[in-house]
Structure 1
Amino acid sequence: MTRALVVDDSHFMRTVISDILTDGGVDVVDTADNGREAVSKTAEVEPDVVTMDVEMPEMNGIEAVEAIMAETPTPILMLSALTTEGADATLEAMDNGAVDAFAKPGGTISTELSGHSERLVNAVERAAVADPTAARDVEQTTPTETGSEEYVANPTLLVGASTGGPNVVESILEALPIEAGFRVLVVQHMPDQFTSRFANRLDRASDYDVREAEDGARISAGEGLVARGDYHMRVSGYSNGRLRVRLDQSDRRHSVRPAIDVTMESAAERVTDPVVGVALTGMGTDGADGIRAVKDKGGHTLAQNEETSAVFGIPQRAIETGCVDEVLAADGLTEAITDSVRRSS
């Protein structure tokens, strides 16, 4: 049975969260009402997972995550209010080592959380199996550029990730050379309130122009789209190096929306120029069919290795298809992506 420590400065929320988790088969071993207490209790009770509020007195959730990761690394699931500030703070906490996030419906003190009980329990269970030390502070090996090399025309990069993925995705785009001229599509399993903020972070970190996808959006060389939370992102058209996507809320696939497979399969079907597909850390089977589709159409495929994956489910399922060309540590992915579209002049 998964053992959880529930951290929230609201007694009401601690009770609601604890009741939901207990009813879902999670053993709530203790609670804490501020970040400082969370740090000490994590060391004391050694839970499998910590659910962490963001805004708390004495020590906030961001600071508590940093302290826990320094002292007793433990999987942490951030529970954030549905606000811009909450989303930004949650992403910062994930930079500090939190493995995943769950959006509190209805605000900081939520009376609507019980309607999302199954999702919360599943999020806690996913976080509990993550390796909190995997791929923290990833620094990509910078691709070596020489004057005798150039890139193939009109390459497309497809990146799929779930638990533990945001930092790895950011590190890949941060080191991706703009000269390669990729059209980049990112599918990160993430609450829908967070994907626009995540896209903004990628845009700031990268030389690429990255934004959250909108229905009918088009991108060319040097541009990227992040799948909007709760919407599948399909490649609907491709012509003269310009790629178009459509968004829809058709049935979830592998219980998720957006699904990596939906984006990768549609890209494999529509894009006629070189395609690179990358399966990153996360739980589940999403991405395996997409990687197979990319490979079947002659694309290059990569998967993150087990040692640097917070959860090895998505890469492992992709590898098991027999369609992955290279399995690499997180810090070697950008160089491999770049090498796959580089040619000698």
Structure 2
Amino acid sequence: MIKLLIVDDSPLMRRLLSEIFTAAGEFEVEVARNGAEAIERLQAVAPDVVTLDIHMPGMDGLACLDEIMLRRPCPVVMVSSLTAEGADETLEAMALGAVDFIAKPRGAVSLEIDAIAPALVEKVRAAASARVSPTLRLRDRVRARATAAVRRPTHSPPGKSHTVLSRPTAPMLPADGLVLVGTSTGGPPALDALLSQLPADFPWPILIAQHMPASFTGPLARRLDRLCALHVSEVVKATPLQPGNAYVGRGDADLIVSRRAGTLTALAAPSSPGYFWHPSVNRLVDSAMTCLAPESLIGVLMTGMGDDGAKAMTELNARGGHTMAEAAATAVVWGMPGALVAAGGASIVAPLERIAAELTAMFPR
């Protein structure tokens, strides 16, 4: 059984969420009426996962999350509104250590929550097995590891290599190409950790498919833009692709690559029912392979629930393209990168703090 602590100041939300997870049959459910009560009960309940409302009187969700991460770290799923303010707060929560979020129904909660119940259960089930650090926030942890990695000798003892390479030497890359990044659960802080290590003049445009609602991807792009040397923007219209830029696909749509008047262009296409998750990593990679030769593409698949991106990146690898998967040791959920590794489609497997270095090493200056 998964021990679940539901923290919400709304009696209706506590009751509805309790009913959903109790009916799922694999959860032992406890509730707390506010952040202070959750902290008081943390040790006694010893939850495997917590759902945490952001807006509560007294100790709000962000303050409560910070205390949880200090006192007894465990996977936390935020309960957030689908607004710009809700998105900013949720992204801040993920930077503080939350692994995922649940979007509150926008209409009559009691009428709409049944429709999203399967997704709620799936997210919390995945979060229960997510990797959580007891100490530093993910971004700070990755930056510290990256600094230490630069200072360490490059050789490793047998069986302790930080990467698994199928090609022994760095590839000779063409002048023009694209980096295609796919993430889901745990993705926002992982994207911060990756992009913040790349220089402002990184030679290839970077396209990002992060599974998120449309109201969240704009705030995500703006947050990454503030934190990184690269210019980061959300793709909301046909956008010519330029070096030194990273492009976040709009939520509830698909990010695809096309050629317009000979120029590589990113488009926000209506989500295709042929792909389960959106923005779809598989569709992004498939579209890029129709525009560029495989050797002009680098696929990077990082933390996320499910297997989106594994099929297309395995095909890219088989055609001679370049692919990287985040190692299980650092992935919050090793679903997507794990599926790529299992399919034999990853030419490099590396912990998160090494992925940027592996990328930049492919472009000798």
Tell me if both proteins adopt one fold, taking TM over 0.5 as the criterion.
yes
CA separation of 1:278 and 1:248: change in aligned 2, threshold 3 A: same
Secondary structure at 2:224 match in 1? helix
Q: CA deviation at 1:195?
A: 1.3
Range moving further from structure 2, 240-249 or 122-131: 240-249
Does the 8 Å contact 1:81/1:108 carry over to 2?
no
Partner-residue secondary structure (3-state), 1:178: coil
Look up the match of 2:115: 115
Task: Quote the residue 1:87 is aligned against.
Answer: 87
What are the Cα deviations for residues 48-73 of structure 1, in whole angstroms up to 9, with x where unaligned? 21111001122111111111111111
> What residue number does 2:181 align with?
159
CA spacing shift, 1:238–1:270, aligned 2, 3 Å: farther
Q: Given that residues 250 and 268 in structure 2 are in contact (C-alpha distance below 8 angstroms), is that contact kept between their aligned partners in structure 1?
A: no
Deviations 1:212-255 (A, max 9, x none): 222433321222221221212221227766333241221152x3
Indicate which of 282, 292, 296 corresponds to 1:261.
282
The partner residue of 1:183 within 205, 225, 248 is 205
Match of 1:147 in 2: none
* Separation in 1, partners of 2:74, 2:107: 26
**Distance across 1 between alignment mates of 2:187 and 2:101:** 11
Q: Counterpart in 2 of 1:195? A: 217
Give the TM-score taking structure 1 as reference length: 0.90
The residue correspondences of 1:87-236 to structure 2 (distance < 5 A) are: 87-106=87-106, 112-133=112-133, 136-137=138-139, 138-139=142-143, 141=146, 153-236=175-258
**TM-score, length basis structure 2:** 0.85
The alpha-carbon distance between structure 1 residues 167 and 334, as it changes in their structure 2 partners (threshold 3 A), is same
Q: What one-letter code is carried by the residue in structure 2 that aligns with 1:32? A: A
Contact 2:206–2:246 (CA<8 Å) still a contact in 1? yes
d(CA) in 1 for partners of 2:96 and 2:274? 30
The match for 1:313 is 335
- Measured in 1, the distance between the counterparts of 2:254 and 2:351 equals 28
Provide the C-alpha distance between the structure 1 equivalents of 2:110 and 2:215, rounded to a whole number of angstroms. Answer: 16
Separation (CA, whole Å) in 2 of partners of 1:233 and 1:110: 33
Flag structure 1 segments of 5+ consecutive residues without an equivalent. 145-149
1:332 corresponds to 2:354:
yes
Give the CA deviation at 1:46. 1.3
Matched with 2:157 is none
The one-character-per-residue Cα deviations of 1:47-99 (angstroms, maximum 9, x if unpaired) are 22111100112211111111111111111111101221111111111111100
- CA separation in 2, counterparts of 1:222 and 1:343? 16
Of stretches 293-302 and 310-319 in structure 1, the one that deviates more from structure 2 is 293-302
Q: How far apart, in 2, do the equivalents of 1:193 and 1:26 lie?
A: 31
Equivalent-residue separation in structure 2 for 1:108 and 1:181 (angstroms): 48
